[in-house]
Amino acid sequence: MICIGNKARGDDGVARLVGELLESRLPAGVTLINEPQLDIVMAEEIAQARFVAFVDAERRNDPPVAVDDVVAGTAGTHAHAIDPPGLLSLATTLYGAAPPTVLVSVAGPHMGHGEGLSHTARAASEEAARVTLELLDQTR
């Protein structure tokens, strides 16, 4: 499970809170990566996984949480970061494996400079934690 977000950009950090909420509740054998952004070095861990759930904020109010399949694709980059389809593609290219992968996106309408989460993002974080645990349970 990979939670990504920048806590210094308001609601962009909501996935990091989801990671913190899940830290002690994850099933045995599940690895949690809770970082500000994706990094190409994560490709090896992705290739070794049976299932990958990315958790990230998306600028919106509703729905609080959405789950979408991620398929390997050409890497999209912004601000020196790689996106989930690109990282999955890299895992396939370098290590020959692409496990089933989903993106759990969390509503975060305010992503300006500054720390702290909006009421919308904070409320959505609890649902995102619950949804992510359900996904993990279904894949075991």
Range of the domain at 42: 2-138
Read off the pTM: 0.92
Helix (H, G, I), strand (E, B) or coil at 80: coil
Task: Please tell me the distance from the alpha carbon of residue 129 to that of residue 26, in angstroms, as a whole number.
Answer: 10
Domain of 47, CATH number, reads: 3.40.50.1450
**13 pLDDT above the threshold of 80:** yes
Q: What integer pLDDT is reported at residue 79 of this predicted model? A: 52
Q: What integer pLDDT is reported at residue 76 of this predicted model? A: 56
Give the helix/strand (H/E) hosting 75: none
Helix (H, G, I), strand (E, B) or coil at 96: coil
Number of structural domains the chain divides into:
1
> Could you report the per-residue pLDDT of 18-49, keeping only the tens digit for each?
999 999 999 888 999 999 999 999 999 999 99
> pLDDT band for position 130 (50/70/90)?
very high
> Could you report the per-residue pLDDT of 49-80, keeping only the tens digit for each?
999 999 999 999 999 999 999 998 765 555 55
Cα 107 to Cα 11, 63, 79, 93, 123: the distances in Å are 8, 7, 21, 32, 9
Contacts of 89 (CB under 8 A, 6+ apart): 72, 73, 74, 75, 98
**15 pLDDT above the threshold of 70:** yes
> Could you report the per-residue pLDDT of 76-94, keeping only the tens digit for each?
555 556 899 999 999 999 9
> Could you report the per-residue pLDDT of 98-125, keeping only the tens digit for each?
899 999 999 999 998 999 999 999 999 9
Nearest residue to 84 via CA among 107, 58, 103: 103
Helix (H, G, I), strand (E, B) or coil at 138: helix
